[in-house]
Amino acid sequence: DQQVKQNSPSLSVQEGRISILNCDYTNSMFDYFLWYKKYPAEGPTFLISISSIKDKNEDGRFTVFLNKSAKHLSLHIVPSQPGDSAVYFCAASPNNAGNMLTFGGGTRLMVKP
Amino acid sequence: KAGVTQTPRYLIKTRGQQVTLSCSPISGHRSVSWYQQTPGQGLQFLFEYFSETQRNKGNFPGRFSGRQFSNSRSEMNVSTLELGDSALYLCASSLRTGGNEKLFFGSGTQLSVL
């Protein structure tokens, strides 16, 4: 039972345009959500997070939106750059569960020059 | 500040053997978590240690075990290796446990079981 799903395994975007990566979850106990970026042969790198008390968090070119009623979050990257090409994972954690993250399957983003 | 360090980087073992992987967290971080990444199952939580105590455990068989030392360094052990244990094993550290912590990951140990 996949509690965190990223339904698009890949996404191709032109440089300078917006990239939108989506993530759905089923567990109502999740209250903290993160996005990680991963290059081949490296560990995931933290990008941005959002707590369930918010519906938006912004950090430079990256914005995460959370829709609790739909159990959906999305990551917007504006403008997209070729260096953003990587696999993006969303992850979720319930309150009081330590640092136990449940990850989605990842979306491979390709930004074309 | 040095990042999370995992050793060895690559490892080849045969079925039935056992293996020990090592993780040194970022200085000052007291929580260490382990994750397994495979093409089929994605990133899955193995366990988390905080102050030398296992705080959480994922849904893995008892062949997978770990420990944390007083300096926060951690090891994980897999006994009686199976072909399906071939994976990238990632270690992550954070200052505290819970409380919406960011996890910082190492580059992982790529384990191949032949």
Residue B99 has pLDDT above 80, yes or no: no
Does residue B24 belong to the interface with chain A, where contact is any CB pair within 8 Å? no
Q: What is the 3-state secondary structure (H, E, C) of A58-96?
A: EECCEEEEEECCCCEEEEEECCCCHHHCEEEEEEEEECC
Of B6-15, B49-58, B80-89, which gets the smallest average pLDDT?
B49-58
pLDDT confidence band for B95 (50 / 70 / 90): confident
Give per-residue pLDDT as tens, A73-87: 999 999 999 999 999
Residue whose C-alpha is closest to residue B29's, from B77, B83, B97: B97
Angstroms from A42 CA to nearest CA on chain B: 4
Q: Residue length, chain A?
A: 113
For A33, name the nearest residue in chain B, comparing CA atoms only.
B100
Strand partners for B56: B48
Out of A32, A99, A103, whose CB is closest to B42? Answer: A103
pLDDT confidence band for B39 (50 / 70 / 90): confident
For A3, name the nearest residue in chain B, comparing CA atoms only.
B44
Collect all residues of chain B within an 8 Å Cβ-Cβ radius of residue A44: 43, 90, 105
pLDDT at B32: 95
For A51, name the nearest residue in chain B, comparing CA atoms only.
B100
Instruction: Tell if the CB–CB gap between A46 and B42 is shorter than 8 Å.
Output: no
pLDDT at A112: 96
Give per-residue pLDDT as tens, B46-65: 999 999 999 989 999 999 99
Strand partners for B13: B113
Instruction: Tell if the CB–CB gap between B44 and A103 is shorter than 8 Å.
Output: yes
Q: How far is CA B70 from CA A110, B50, B109, in A?
A: 43, 10, 22
Tokens found for residue A49: 């997070």
**Sign of the CA dihedral with A21 first, then B47, B93, and A30 last:** positive
Residue A18 has pLDDT above 70, yes or no: yes
Q: Scan for tokens 């910082």, then name that residue.
A: B104
Out of A51, A95, A98, whose CB is closest to B97? Answer: A98
pLDDT at B1: 64
Of A14-23, B5-14, B24-33, B96-105, which gets the smallest average pLDDT?
B96-105
Name the amino acid, one letter, at B42.
Answer: G
Give per-residue pLDDT as tens, A48-66: 999 999 999 999 999 999 9
Calpha distance A74→A58 (Å, rounded): 12
Are the beta carbons of B17 and B104 closer than 8 angstroms?
no
pLDDT at A17: 98
Core vs surface per residue A33-45: b (16+ CB within 10 A) or e: bbbbbbeeeebbe
Collect all residues of chain B within an 8 Å Cβ-Cβ radius of residue A89: 42-43
